[in-house]
Amino acid sequence: MENYKKIFLIIVILVIGIIIVLFSLLMLRKQTVIKEENPPTLAFQATEKLSSKALFFQIEDMVKTYFNYETDNNMEKSAISPSGEIQLKNNANNVFVAKQMYVLDKINNITVFIEGLARGRNSQEECYLVMNLDYTNNTYEMIASSKQEFENAKNNNINEEYRQNNSIKVNAYNEIQQKKISDLQVIKRYFDDYKFKAINQPQEAFALLDTTYKKEKFHNNLEQYKTYIQNNLETLQDANIVKHGVKQEGEIIRYTFVDNYNHQYELKETGIYEYTITLDNHTVLSTEQQKQYAGLTNEQKATSNVEKVMKLINQKDYQTVYGYLNTEFKNKNFPTVEAFTNYMNETFFENNIIGRMSIKTEGNIYLITVPYKESLSIAAEEEEKTFIVKLGEGTNFELSFEM
């Protein structure tokens, strides 16, 4: 009798288990049917500022490719923009530069609302575009847009057609261009952006300067900065990056680079096309640089200060050099910055190539002779100047020179 009860109990448990399994499968099937019959709506999806640097610059390059196609043969442009050819305003030679993008991320594709600039050598105009990217077919298309449409997209007020997950057919020109961007290419874009603003929009370029650097270098004076740019206009226009380095510090990326005039820059990126810049590495010394300076011998300190002065001379930053002059020497020979500037322009070349320096010591005074010439050519004219350096506390020093 006892055995029958055990068997009965086991059967009951099995039946209950089977019922639970069947019920679970039924509910799962019901949920699947509901999901298939009622696909998720896209109405809740909002546009977001595009934060992927790789995608941002990929899209910027695709737009540049479009505008690089010849205007008299618009077959390529028609393949990418079937709704009508898009042209940059005024100048066919303008270059497209993106400012910011907002993206609507859908199931199989995305729509990107683009605010950019049609930038020429000395002028620029705003340019607004919409780009649809179909990742199923690996294709894209471009549509002309407006400032109002872009502003609406930032606030997620967009036309319903953009929320649709439309398919874009493949043709010979509209495949998404997959390519990586190097650190050097990123630096070049930012440096080109800075150079354009420095030459054409100095107030905007001035705002890009690192706060501490701007105070130390230009005393927060826009007019001093404008004078500096005017004095260095030719070298700034011709400057190219010859060496660079990258360092990640949390969410900040520091790019250091040197141009073909041996000017050293640091660019601190906080977002895409969001950065601050310093134009040399000697106006504001880092803690590491101060430690390195403190570890030098007095002769090495004096020599490094003259090297710094020669860099300032090459940058036509005579105001800063004037500030280093010994007071008695300055009052006797150069009572004004203008008098000092005239003398320096008459004494030094446009760009000075420094040779091997020699040093003599007279008590706590260091006499450093600097040979310099205009170019690396053997036939180039060579001059020399002897600087007199007196070291002060910390990194301070006084300067004079033989007249």
Please check whether residues 228 and 314 belong to one and the same domain.
no
The CATH number that applies at residue 98 is 3.10.450
Residue-level pLDDT at 29: 43
Please check whether residues 265 and 330 belong to one and the same domain.
no
Residue 389 lies in a domain: yes
Residue 218 lies in a domain: yes
Checking if the pLDDT of 12 tops 90, the result is: no
Residue 352 lies in a domain: yes
Please check whether residues 80 and 139 belong to one and the same domain.
yes
Rounded CA separation 200/191 (Å):
14
The CATH number that applies at residue 304 is 3.10.450.100
Checking if the pLDDT of 104 tops 90, the result is: yes
Q: Can you give the residue range of the structural domain that contains 210?
A: 183-278
Checking if the pLDDT of 206 tops 80, the result is: yes
Please check whether residues 274 and 211 belong to one and the same domain.
yes
Checking if the pLDDT of 39 tops 60, the result is: no
**Three-state helix/strand/coil letters over the chain:** CHHHHHHHHHHHHHHHHHHHHHHHHHHHHHHHHHHHHCCCCCCCCCCEECCCHHHHHHHHHHHHHHHHCCCCCCHHHHHHCCCCCCCCCCCCCCEEEEEEEEEEECCCEEEEEEEEEEECCCCEEEEEEEEEEECCCCEEEEEECCHHHHHHHHCCCCCHHHHCCCCCCCCCCCECCCCCCCHHHHHHHHHHHHHHHHHHCHHHHHHHECHHHHHHHHCCCHHHHHHHHHHCHHHHHHCCEEEEEEEEECCEEEEEEEECCCCEEEEEEEECCEEEEECCCCCCCCHHHHHHHHCCCHHHHHHHHHHHHHHHHHCCCHHHHHHHECHHHHHHHCCCHHHHHHHHHHHCCCCCEECCCEEEEECCEEEEEEEEECCCCCCCCEEEEEEEEEECCCCCEEEEECC
Residue-level pLDDT at 91: 56
**Rounded to the nearest 5°, which phi and psi values hold at 139?**
-130, 165
Residue-level pLDDT at 68: 84
Rounded CA separation 378/31 (Å):
84
pLDDT digits (tens, 9 = 90+) for 335-385: 999 999 999 999 999 889 999 999 999 888 999 999 999 888 887 888 999
Checking if the pLDDT of 201 tops 70, the result is: yes
Domain end point (choices 133, 163, 193): 163
**pLDDT band at 223, cuts 50/70/90?**
very high
Please check whether residues 134 and 198 belong to one and the same domain.
no
Give Rg (Cα) of the chain. 33
Report how many domains make up the chain.
3
Please check whether residues 307 and 389 belong to one and the same domain.
yes
Average pLDDT over residues 326-334: 95
Please check whether residues 57 and 157 belong to one and the same domain.
yes
Residue 266 lies in a domain: yes
Please check whether residues 304 and 260 belong to one and the same domain.
no
Please check whether residues 213 and 259 belong to one and the same domain.
yes
Residue 114 lies in a domain: yes
Please check whether residues 132 and 96 belong to one and the same domain.
yes
Residue 289 lies in a domain: no
| Of 10-24, 65-79, 138-152, 322-336, the least confident | 10-24
CB contact set of 131 (below 8 Å; sequence gap of 6+) = 59, 62, 63, 111, 112, 114, 140, 141, 142, 143
Residue 27 lies in a domain: no
**pLDDT band at 72, cuts 50/70/90?**
low
pLDDT digits (tens, 9 = 90+) for 263-311: 999 999 999 999 999 999 999 988 899 999 999 999 999 999 999 999 9
User: Model-level pTM?
Assistant: 0.81
Residue 143 lies in a domain: yes
Residue-level pLDDT at 40: 35
Domain end point (choices 224, 250, 278): 278
Domain end point (choices 131, 163, 195): 163
Could you tell me whether strands 139-144 and 241-249 are parallel, antiparallel, or unpaired per DSSP bridges? Answer: unpaired
Residue-level pLDDT at 5: 57
Checking if the pLDDT of 234 tops 80, the result is: yes
Checking if the pLDDT of 165 tops 70, the result is: yes
Please check whether residues 154 and 203 belong to one and the same domain.
no
Please check whether residues 110 and 83 belong to one and the same domain.
yes
CB contact set of 128 (below 8 Å; sequence gap of 6+) = 113, 114, 115, 116, 144, 145, 146, 147, 149, 150
